[in-house]
């Protein structure tokens, strides 16, 4: 993989472990989910879900969390209650450590928070095998000498913004992003998840073929191409690519 990819996916793989707070049972809880404004209360205890609970005592929670619970839709309120169970299991030092992390988040500038928020959501959207691969790459990157890591980060930062953002799609799609960018640009929200699912399911050779097809497709025809790609069953995908390339 290109040097830029090593840096990019290494950084992305580190997002979920930026801050892990140990619980009394020894488990680690990721607290790296970005928090900001009204979202802060809902996400401030963003942790692994536990068994659903319909009600818990909120006396030990910060006032913003307890107040927000009454204003949330039921699904979000249930999620917050699950988080509350974990919060109440923390000792005072653990809660203080979390508060320190939240303060650190608040101290970041808006651009940095936005970048980390985007990386977090990108990580959440990745298939589990790619998360595991990213974790391995991040550990390998961390073992490189500091001077080498700094140089790689510098080279990555010098890339065009769109190319850097492409690596948020993970190690597979990140490498193919330049040729697939026209297909992913101005992507309607309702097409995003199904299109990424299809792209992740394709082999590297199939994505290269798709890249050729994308480059041949005029801008006004790309939406139709996306819809056709999404609607094609997986077992017919290779045949569809051959047929489209032969037109």
Of 3, 12, 239, residue with least CA distance to 124: 12
Take residue 194 and report the two structure tokens written for it.
Answer: 């199904």
What's the pLDDT tens digit per position in 78-137?
A: 877 787 787 788 888 988 888 888 888 889 899 888 888 888 888 888 888 888 888 888
What's the pLDDT tens digit per position in 26-85?
A: 333 343 444 443 344 334 433 333 333 444 555 555 667 667 777 778 887 787 778 778
Measure the CA–CA gap between 12 and 6, rounded to whole angstroms: 10
Where exactly are the structural domains of the chain?
1-159, 170-247
Measure the CA–CA gap between 187 and 23, rounded to whole angstroms: 40
Burial of 101 (0-12, 13-18, 19+ CB in 10 A): middle
């Amino acid at each position: 993989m290109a040097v830029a990819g090593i840096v990019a996916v290494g950084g992305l793989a580190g997002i979920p472990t930026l801050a892990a707070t140990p619980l009394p049972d020894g488990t680690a809880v990721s607290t790296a989910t970005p928090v900001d404004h009204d979202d802060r209360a809902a996400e401030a205890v963003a942790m692994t879900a536990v068994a659903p609970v319909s009600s818990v005592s909120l006396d030990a929670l910060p006032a913003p969390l307890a107040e927000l619970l009454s204003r949330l839709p039921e699904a979000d309120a249930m999620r917050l209650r699950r988080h509350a169970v974990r919060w109440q299991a923390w000792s005072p030092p653990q809660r203080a450590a979390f508060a320190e992390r939240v303060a650190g988040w608040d101290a970041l500038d808006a651009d940095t928070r936005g970048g980390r928020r985007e990386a977090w959501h990108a990580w959440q959207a990745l298939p589990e095998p790619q998360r595991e691969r990213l974790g391995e790459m991040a550990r390998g990157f961390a073992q490189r000498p500091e001077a080498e890591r700094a140089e790689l980060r510098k080279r990555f930062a010098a890339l065009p913004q769109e190319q850097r953002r492409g690596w948020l799609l993970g190690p597979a799609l990140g490498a193919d992003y330049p040729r697939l960018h026209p297909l992913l640009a101005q992507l309607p929200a309702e097409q995003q998840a199904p299109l990424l699912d299809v792209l992740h399911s394709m082999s590297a050779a199939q994505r290269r073929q798709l890249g050729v097809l994308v480059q041949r497709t005029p801008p006004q025809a790309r939406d139709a191409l996306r819809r056709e790609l999404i609607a094609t069953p997986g077992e017919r995908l290779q045949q569809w690519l051959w047929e489209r390339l032969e037109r």
